[in-house]
Structure 1
Amino acid sequence: MRAAWVDASAGIAGDMLLAALVDAGAALDAVRAAVEAVVPGEVRLERTQVTRAGMRATRIEVTPSAHDHAHRTWREVRRLIEQAPLADPVRTSALAAFARLAVAEAHVHGTSPEEVHFHEVGAWDSIADVVGVCAALHDLTVTELTAGPVALGFGRVTTAHGELPVPAPAVAELAAEWQVFAGGEGELATPTGLALLTTLARECAPLPHLRLERTGVGAGGRDIPGRPNVTRVFLGTPVPATTADAAEAVVLETNIDDLDPRVWPGVLASLMEAGASDAWLTPILMKKGRPAHTLSVLCPPREVEPLRDAVFRLTTTLGVRERPVRKTELRRGWTLVDVLGDRLPVKVGHRGGRILQATPEFAPAAALAARLGLPVHVVLAAATAAAQRAALTTGAPTPRTLTPEPA
Structure 2
Amino acid sequence: MQVFKFGGASVKDATAIKNIGTILQSYTSKPLLIVVSAMGKTTNALEKLAESYFNQRNDVHEIFEEVKNYHFEIIHQLFDQQHSVYDEVSNTFVEIDWIIEDEPVDEYDFIYDQIVSIGELVSSKIIGQYLNHIGLTTKWLDARSYIQTDNVYREAHINWDKTSELIQKDIPKILANGFAVTQGFIGNTSENFTTTLGREGSDYTAAIFASCLNAESVTVWKDVSGILNADPKLFDDCIKFDELSYEEAIEMTYYGATVIHPKTIKPLQNKHIPLYVKPFLAPHESGTVIREATIAISTPIIIVKNSQVLITLHTKDLAFVTENQVSDIFKAFADAYIKVNTLQISALTFSASFDFDENKFDRFKTLLSADLDLRYNTDLKLITIRHPNNEAIKKHVSGEIYLEERNRNTAHFVIKV
- Give me the TM-score of the superposition, normalised by structure 2: 0.23
Name the larger-Rg structure: 1
Higher relative contact order (CA 8 A, sep 6+): 1
More strand by share: 1
